[in-house]
Amino acid sequence: METQKPTPTPTPIPQECPNADYCLSYGIKTQEITQLFHHYQDFSLVTQITPIGQPSQNGFIRLLTYHLPIGSKQSYYSTAILKSIKPLQTADNLYYEYFVGQFVNYLATLFPFFVHTYNLVSYQDLDAHTTMANMTGKTQSDLGGKIGQWLNKHLQIIPFQQVKSHFPEACSNDVRLALLIETVKQPLTLTEIINVRNTPETLQRANNFVNFDLMSICLLIYGTLATTCQQFTHYDLHPNNILLIRCNDPHGFFEYNLHLYDPMTDEENRTITVYSQYLPKIIDYGRCYYHLDESRNSDQFREDLCQICQDCGRKSGFRTFNSTPSSETHYISPHRMNISHDLRLIKIISTWLKMNVPLMQSIADQLVYQDQYGTPERSTFGRSSQIMNVIDMSTKLISYFDNPQYKKIYFPQFPNNYSRYGSFDIHLTMEKPIAYIAHDFNRVGIIPSDS
């Protein structure tokens, strides 16, 4: 059923958020912004569809631009990513990723290093899926009318209360399901920022990142993973699944205040502060283990899967649920926790940089990771000098920070001609939401409605 575009009326927008997408990334006014854009469910607000990146063998990504009228001459805009798969058995089923995403939405209130999952979407037919896959960029005049009308006709937002009723569709026709997720603005992958050095500018960027940002970014990621490891395993954590948002000011940086806790008392006992020009985002949740409570977890999902889908969904994008952790399956098992598997990221980084960064050589020497793409779980919890899991990795990075010599070299402050762009307060007790204090805002985001 098509929805009519609302008559432009003055709409209050958060004054702190002239750019909605950046505020969503920073965790500012998230609820207010998503409500303003009707939780990205009103396709009548969409005025442009833009292809993002190159199509992969598994799927494609489209950027939807939403314009919200705030008066007769202006509109407030935001974007969302539409993630779709191709009709191949190798693609992970997006239906499961939606459920992981709802859990990750909770984590995103505590840590700014995740992206939000908005909606599960169903293509009305395969022709619509094919049309979207073949798009090279569509504006209002294409598709025989306004884009919003075409989207409302051919795509359906599945209400949260009805998602479970679409389980059979996920088993039999999973290609018709898609996800609407948060946009990461102008990101670089960790791979790009470290390894692309083919121009003077990219060489300087890579060197600056390694010298000023690298160890802080590693501490932020592994501090988060260590804190959440009893509830979350990513299972596909490599440098292409870490996106980095650079702050808008070329001479600005983010300040991260990590409030640590004593594991014996579970109470905060001190705060450490690290700096970076980048905000990291962990993406791609299609293989994750999650556990929110006794009824909302990946093990319960597998039980439902095996009751509803033939052969437990083995041929419907759920094959990782059907395997026993082994070297052949890279020890991936979404319904089982593995606090060692996500060391894959630091294994790759240390391999890249150990010849140029002495501390990375030290990490590589201490790291225990069995295969290239995975490892069995090892629960040492600090009883060994080796790094066997994400808790060990976080503890090791904090010990480097506490070493005055290492801190000066690997966790440096920025030069005096740089200034704080914003400050994050992150509580590793998981008892308080993230807090972001802006020291500067790039005043963009209000644009003429006819542009």
**Residue 12: exposed, middle, or buried by beta-carbon count in 10 A (0-12, 13-18, 19+)?**
exposed
> Chain-wide mean pLDDT for the chain?
89
Q: What's at 179, amino acid-wise?
A: L
**Residue 302: exposed, middle, or buried by beta-carbon count in 10 A (0-12, 13-18, 19+)?**
buried
Mention every residue, 6+ apart, whose C-beta is less than 8 A from residue 376.
Answer: 325, 331, 338, 340, 370
CA distance 227 to 260: 10
Contacts 24+ apart (CB under 8 A), 27-34: 27/108, 27/109, 27/112, 27/433, 27/434, 27/436, 28/436, 28/438, 30/108, 30/109, 30/116, 33/78, 34/116, 34/118
Mention every residue, 6+ apart, whose C-beta is less than 8 A from residue 91.
Answer: 58, 59, 85, 317
- DSSP character for 125? S
User: pLDDT value at position 143?
Assistant: 61
CA distance 416 to 419: 7
- 4, pLDDT greater than 70: no
The answer to whether residues 247 and 441 touch, using CB atoms and an 8 Å cutoff, is no
Mention every residue, 6+ apart, whose C-beta is less than 8 A from residue 52.
Answer: 61, 62, 63, 81
Q: Cα dihedral sign for 389, 390, 392, 397?
A: positive
User: pLDDT value at position 382?
Assistant: 57
How far from 115 is each of 268, 280, 290, 343, CA to CA, in Å? 26, 10, 15, 21
CA distance 409 to 404: 9
254 phi/psi in degrees, rounded to 5: -90, 140
Closest CA to 250 of 59, 419, 17: 419
410 phi/psi in degrees, rounded to 5: -105, -15
CA distance 133 to 68: 26
User: pLDDT value at position 17?
Assistant: 87
User: Among 18-32, 123-137, 437-451, which stretch is predicted with the lowest mean pLDDT?
Assistant: 437-451
Q: What's at 289, amino acid-wise?
A: Y
How far from 325 is each of 306, 329, 332, 377, CA to CA, in Å? 18, 6, 6, 10
- 177, pLDDT greater than 60: yes
- DSSP character for 446? E
Average pLDDT over residues 157-166: 95
Q: What is the 3-state secondary structure (H, E, C) of 309-329?
A: CHHHHCCCCCHHHHCCCCHHH
**Residue 346: exposed, middle, or buried by beta-carbon count in 10 A (0-12, 13-18, 19+)?**
buried
The residue among 313 and 339 whose pLDDT is bigger is: 339
263 phi/psi in degrees, rounded to 5: -65, -20
- 353, pLDDT greater than 90: yes
User: Among 173-177, 205-209, 239-243, 436-440, which stretch is predicted with the lowest mean pLDDT?
Assistant: 436-440
- Taking every pair of C-alpha atoms in the chain, what is the biggest distance, in angstroms? 66
How far from 393 is each of 110, 219, 222, 227, 386, CA to CA, in Å? 20, 9, 7, 12, 9
- 443, pLDDT greater than 60: no
Average pLDDT over residues 177-185: 96
User: pLDDT value at position 10?
Assistant: 52
The answer to whether residues 201 and 103 touch, using CB atoms and an 8 Å cutoff, is no
Q: What's at 252, amino acid-wise?
A: G
Over residues 76-90, the pLDDT tens digits come to 999 999 999 988 656
- 408, pLDDT greater than 60: yes
Q: What is the percent of the chain where pLDDT is above 90?
A: 72
